[in-house]
Structures are given as C-alpha cells and as structure tokens.
Amino acid sequence: MRCNVCEVRCEINKHGMGRCGTYVNAGNTIIQYPGMGYLGAHPVSIEAVPLLHFHPSGKFLQIFSTGCNFQCPGCMARMPASSRPSTQQASLSPSEVVKRALKQECLGVVSAINDPVANYYLFRDLAAQAREKSLLVGCSTNCYFTSETLEEFGQFVNFVNVGIKGYSGRSYKNCGAKSSAPVFRNISRLYDMGVHIETSVVYSKGNEDDVIKVAEKVSDISSTIPLHVMRFLPLGYAPIELEPSVGEAEKICSALRRYLDFVYLFNSPGTELLNTYCPECGSLLIEREFHMPFGSRLVKPWVSQKCSCGSSIPVQGRATNEGFSEAGFMDSYSIISQDFSMVHAVLTCLGVLDDYKLMDIWGEDKLMDVWSKVSDPKTLTQIHNMIRQPYSYLEFIKFIAEKANMSEKGEELVSFIHKRLKIVQNLAAGKSSYNVYYCMGSPLFALNAGRMENNLVTFSGGVSINKQLQKEGKLGVSVSPSFINEHDPGVIFVSGFLSRPLDEFYTLCQKYGIHARAVTQQQVYEIPPSWDFGSPRWILGLLYIADKLHPGKLGVDLRKEADDFYLKFYGMRFKEARPNRSFHRPSSGIWPHKQTFYNYVEMEVPKQGSTKNFGSEITQPFNMLPACKLKFKG
C-alpha cells in the first residue's frame, strides 16, 4: 500500500515502514506509528522559527518529534530528523501540547526541527485541538506534500516557512527526492488559500544561479513573499570550501532583491540584512539582530507597518508590544540540535564513529534519560552550565561516558584534557597584559560573557572585555564601535563556529571606525573550526588562545598537540583533516576508519508474500546515500 502524504509515495507493506520511519500499514490504511508523540515543547519568539512577517515578537510553543522524508547532507537537525520513534520515549500527546500552550499563554503552536511531513496525522490531530482553543497553527516544512494532502493541510495551518532545497532537480535528488516542482506548486496553492508563507533557501558556493532561480520562481507567485537566505554551514561531510563568507552572502542577497521585496540573511552574525527595509524608498523600518544561526530578534518592538513614504509592509497579525525572549537556552533548531551535537562530539572521541550506532545508544536506556528530558529546561540548563567551564566540562564527559557504558574511554579523554589544563593554569598564574575581545563573524557581534569561549580567555589569564556586557542573547549581542575602542583590546579572537575571513574583518573595522590596538597591530586571530566550543577539541583552542596571550611562553608545540589529539581520538593526523563546522566530525572527508552504516531497505520475497525490513551494511557516509528500495526474488 502506498503512503500518499508526500510525493515520495513510499510503498509500505505489512511489516515495513516508509522513508520517514514513522508510518505503518494498518491493513487497509496507512497510520502514524502507534503511541508517537512530541518529544519537546518550548516557548519561542516567532522570529526564532524563523518567521519575520507574522505576529512579530509573538510567543509560540515550538514542538518537535522524530522522522523526516528527506535525507539532506549537512542537516543541522539530523539527530531528531533521522531517529525512529520508540514507545519508550517520553512524549507529549496533542492534547498535552495544547494544554501547555494555553498555560504558557502562547499565541499558537509551531512544528519545527523535524519535518511535520513525517508526523502529518499527529500534526493534523494537534491542529484540530489547537484551533478549537483559538490557537494559531504553523510549521517549518520542506512542503513536499502530495496535492491531495496539501488541500487538507492548507485548511488547518495559518502560517508556514517552506525550506526550498533549490530550483534544480539535482538539489532535490541530493536529498532523496525527485524535483522541486511539487514544492513550488504547493507554495502557490497555499498562497492562494490565504496561508501566510515565508520561504528559506540555502546558499552555498557554486549554487548562486540556483538560488537566483528560486527567487525568480517565488516572485512568479508573489514578490511580497519573504525569502530567508541561509548561508551554508558545512557540517557532516561537506567541505568548508562550500561555505560562502558573510560578505559573499550579502552580495547575493542584494542581487535577489531584484526579484523579491524582502530578502533576509541568516547564519551571519552582525549582518544588516536581517533588517526590514522599505521596498519603495529603501528606508530602514525594522531592526533585528542575530539570535542563533536560524533565528533573529527585534531590537525594538514593531510599532507600525507603514513607511513614511506611504507604502505598507505586508505583515499578518498584530505585533507584540513587549517582545518575548526565551529563558535560559530554549530556542529553535539550534539549541536542541546543538545538545545532540555536543553529546555526539564526546561520543565520537570515545570511539562511536557511525551514526546508527550513535542512534542505538540514544534509543537504549543508556542515554534515554537525556533524550526524554530534552524538553526539561532544568536539564538543558544543567548541560549548558557544565560545558561553560573547562573543569566542569570534564564532568560532562564523565556523565556521557557513563551513560554510554564507556567510562574507561571517558577517563582517557578526561586525562588528556586535564594534563593540558594544568599547563595553561600554571602559565596563567602570571596573568596576561592583554584586554581580549571575543566576537563572532562581525567585529560588532560580541559573544556572551558567560560562554565557554570567554571563559577560556579568563582561564588563560586574559582580561575579557566581554565580561563588561550586561545585555544577553543566545550566542551574543550587538555592540557599538565605541565599546571596542574604549576597552582597547590588544587581542581579538573570532569564533571558530561562525567566522569571517580576516580581510573582510579588517575592512569592516575600517568601515566602523574601530581602531583598537588589536586592529592597528593586526592581532586578530581566527580560531580553527570547533576548537573553542561544542567539541572536546576546545582543549586545542585553549592552547591556541594561551599561546597568543603569552607569546613564546606556552612551552608546547601546538601542531604536535593537535596531531596527538587527532590521532588518539580520531585516528588521523591533524594535517590530514579537512576541517568544517561540525562539532563531532574532525574532517569533511572520509575517515581512515572503516565505518559501517545501517540503511533500512525493503526486500520483497514473493515465496513468503511479504515485505520485511533488513539491516544492510553499507560502507559509505550515511548522508551521501541515495534513498533506495531494493527488491529481489529468491
């Protein structure tokens, strides 16, 4: 029997599952996996989804479950999207989600992180109950629905953010789908049905023409549909060469404005292209700042939808007078995905090298309590407090190693890091003469005072000027050039997660009038990717920082230290690694280890007259596998 939820149209027989892994055959119909529910529910500002023209600053309850009908390389939500449902997992029913949304005074519910295409029947039930209570309903989706499903879907959603993979068929085949045609067809139909639509597209080096064609195609539907350009972050097996600089991304956004009135740039700290400008006269109307990779937030409330020139900005719903700000660490894709990624990074160093073994660990009792508590703000806060300080991070490693029954390997990693901590601690006793500024991407985007990166500076004996900041954001906050000039840092570090080429960085310093000593003496340093946050590789970042703050005094060979770490915990030399932005992967290429990935395929056995799932060993990177269904006789 075929599943008709999406255009993949999987054939699901009695003992099988579809691509999503969330639908089963119940005899004469396809149903959601029994007992499936939502694994997390957190209040967020709508800009964190992101949607920028719908109830600005409105508070919505963001939910997620497991499964996805696509297999996209570099997916930031890969863990929940790739996981399979389990009746053991603590989950929320639609009625429980509605109760929570009402209790927390949310305007509505929004499904994100994994695609609601994989949870369509669950999401439909939730929508029915939510609308009965006058709650708004929306989602972030690849919108690969069939026409018949879309007609129903469009009746119960108020808003969607459609993630467009590209215009060309190749863009969709890379994700295991056929073409972009169903997506543009569905966007057009939803627009005609009165659903509020915003779109997203990933921009990587080399796909400029494809991104422009996406803008043209969306413009054919309506030039007023906002387009969110997601600057590509190379994760998984993607090489860092595919990542455009913030400056390059800003240039293509300017080109896209020939087709669309509202183009926004994400994953780019400090960019001015998160703001809303009048499409008629170019005046700045709404100012936003970077708020985690996929999110933004309003600098001040949106009080008017009209420009002084008389033109009107298409916005649905009233703006909230006082914007909602997520408490603690709750956020869109980024925090939940980063939690999984940081645990993944530790497990990788402990020798868990293939994704399905990792998912087995998540799925068993070993880490089930972490997974099931992921919706608990106290648990998230506890985890993030542990990974903020060097010594408490060692406790984080022990915690994960114990849950994975790998305590001996955990102690090996802890011992390696602890020895280097003592070296830096002894060096830092003499203090550094440098004021230090730590930023991300732009010289005007300062990392939050309490983050690991600034604590590494303090641990190394530097004086972090970021500690003077009172305002907080998720990763950081925007600052003025005067803040940097007045504190006159002698060294500036640029984050290893979201950076900007140094030539662009110095050009921006000149543009903004930043003349701190670090700039004039060219002591601005890019931290190597994932050497300062998210991965145990931060110990190498600490050594790097200490070496810059105490020139010639560290007494260790940084290259040898990197080689030792990579050999011991990744099985490769540092010089052989091809770095990218992934927390858990040290290289964008294939590791020297033989890795086995289990891909569930369908095998038809006519003699028995049934279709069953079997684990098939495939020695290829999982996210480079095509979606496949094998049928054979025998």
Q: Where are the domains of the chain?
A: 33-326, 334-428
More confident residue, 174 or 236: 174
Rounded CA separation 3/19 (Å): 10
506, 519 contact by CB (below 8 A): yes
Averaged pLDDT for residues 28-48: 88
CA distance to 131, 143, 197, 198, per residue, from 158 (Å): 10, 14, 9, 12
Task: State the DSSP string of 288-327.
Answer: EEE-STT-EEESS----SB-TTS-B---BSPPPSS-----
Predicted confidence (pLDDT) per residue in 212-222, tens digit:
999 999 999 99
Backbone angles phi, psi at 324, to 5 degrees: -85, 135
Q: Is the pLDDT of residue 633 over 60?
A: no
Q: Is the pLDDT of residue 117 over 70?
A: yes
Q: What is the pLDDT of residue 622?
A: 30
Q: Comparing C-alpha atoms, which of 602, 594, 601, 593 is closest to residue 625?
A: 601
374, 366 contact by CB (below 8 A): no
Q: Is the pLDDT of residue 249 over 50?
A: yes
- Could you tell me which residues come within 8 angstroms of residue 383 by beta carbon, excluding any fewer than 6 positions away? 339, 342, 396
Predicted confidence (pLDDT) per residue in 267-294, tens digit:
999 899 999 999 999 999 999 988 877 7
Averaged pLDDT for residues 322-347: 64
Confidence of residue 141 (pLDDT cuts 50, 70, 90): very high
**Percentage above 90 pLDDT, the chain:** 58
Mean pLDDT for the chain? Answer: 84
329 alpha-carbon distance from chain centroid: 14
Predicted confidence (pLDDT) per residue in 505-545, tens digit:
999 999 999 999 999 999 999 999 889 988 999 999 999 99
Q: What is the pLDDT of residue 355?
A: 56
The CATH class of the 33-326 domain is alpha beta
Predicted confidence (pLDDT) per residue in 470-500, tens digit:
877 678 888 999 999 999 999 999 998 888 8
